[in-house]
Each structure stands twice: as C-alpha cells, then as structure tokens.
Amino acid sequence: MLALHGDPLFSYFEGESGSRTIDNPRAGITEDNLWILLRGLRGPFLQPGEKKTFEFLPGVYHGRLAHKPAQWTTAEIERSAGDVIIYTVRIAGGRTGKFWIESEYPHRIRRWELAPDLQAELTGSLRVQYWTLHDNEHESYLKELGLQPTLD
C-alpha cells in the first residue's frame, strides 16, 4: 500500500483543518481520476456488460461539502451492453453517477448525471487556441458551442 499525503486543509469548521495521510490500495480508484478512466484512452475500462467493485476514494469536493474526512469506500461500476458506452457508478453510501461516453476516439464524455439535480451535457466542442480568446469579439465562439454570452 502507498500512502497519500496531502497539503494541509484549512476550514472554518472545528476539527476539519490540518494534515492527513491515507493509505492507497493498489487497485483503488479516486473519484477525481474516475472521469479519465471511464473514457478508456488506453483501452476499455470495462467490457460491455461487465460489472466490478473497486476500492473508491470519494472526491475532495464531495468530502468538503459533507464535512467528512477522506476515507476509502467501495464503488460498483457497470458498463452497459450496446452501441453507446454508458457507465453507472454506485458508490457505497447511496450516491450514483451515470456517464455517457462516445465510442469513437477521443471518447468524450457526452453527458453525465451525479444526482437528479446535478447533470450536464456536451453542447459542442472546438479545437482553438482558447488562451487567445478573451475579448468581446470572440463571443461568437460561445454560440458555436451552443452557449449564450453573458453580460459583465
């Protein structure tokens, strides 16, 4: 087992600040890395119809909102059989996520749901030098992505 060492945490809530160390199971998956694994950039994460249970470390964002220290749990991950790659992730403790992945490279995540009220869908994509697009005349790119410019 490896140990994960993090930077000190700072919080307004009593008992939540300080440094922590947590063991890292060899085959454990972190929620923050899950998005990359499901895309299958080095080959399929699971075969169609396959289901496995993994050691799972919930993401920092969720842990901070829940005011819980990081600790390993389990997650059951299932890939649907069919033309569209759909992964369902059931985390011990009740959270469920669903991810729709393009079958063609680069296997973009087309849609995801992490709760009935937390979901997103890819409306478009562009290959541009985004770091040069910061002036008002570049707002047309937002429309190409299916987004509407907002007023400052």
**What's the pTM?**
0.76
Map out the domains of the chain as residue ranges. 26-121, 123-152
Is the pLDDT reported for residue 5 higher than 70?
no
pLDDT for the residue 22: 72
What is the predicted pLDDT for the residue at 10? 57
Counting runs of H as helices and runs of E as strands, what totals does the chain give? 3, 9
**What's the rounded mean pLDDT across residues 4-12?**
55
Residue 87's pLDDT is 97
Q: Confirm if 82 and 48 have CB atoms less than 8 A apart.
A: yes
pLDDT of 8 strictly over 60:
no
CA pair distance 1, 25, nearest whole angstrom: 5
Which strands make up the sheet holding 85-91, listed edge to edge?
A: 29-30, 51-57, 73-79, 85-91, 96-101, 109-115, 118-121
User: What pLDDT digit, counting tens, does each position of 73-128 carry?
Assistant: 999 999 998 888 999 999 998 889 999 999 988 899 999 998 777 899 998 888 88
Question: What confidence score (pLDDT) does residue 139 get?
Answer: 84
Cβ 38 vs Cβ 109: under 8 Å: yes
Predicted local confidence at residue 2, as pLDDT: 42
One DSSP character per residue, 74-120 reads EEEEEE-SSSSEEEEEEETTS-EEEEEE-SSTT--EEEEEEETTEEE
More confidently predicted of 43 and 12: 43
d(CA 136, CA 91): 43
For 25-79, write each residue's pLDDT tens digit. Answer: 888 998 889 999 999 988 899 999 999 999 998 887 776 677 777 789 999 999 9
Q: Which residue has the higher pLDDT, 108 or 135?
A: 108
The letter for the amino acid at 92 is: A
Collapse the DSSP code of 19 into the 3-class scheme (helix H, G, I; strand E, B; otherwise coil) and give the result. coil
Do the beta carbons of residue 85 and residue 103 sit within 8 Å? yes
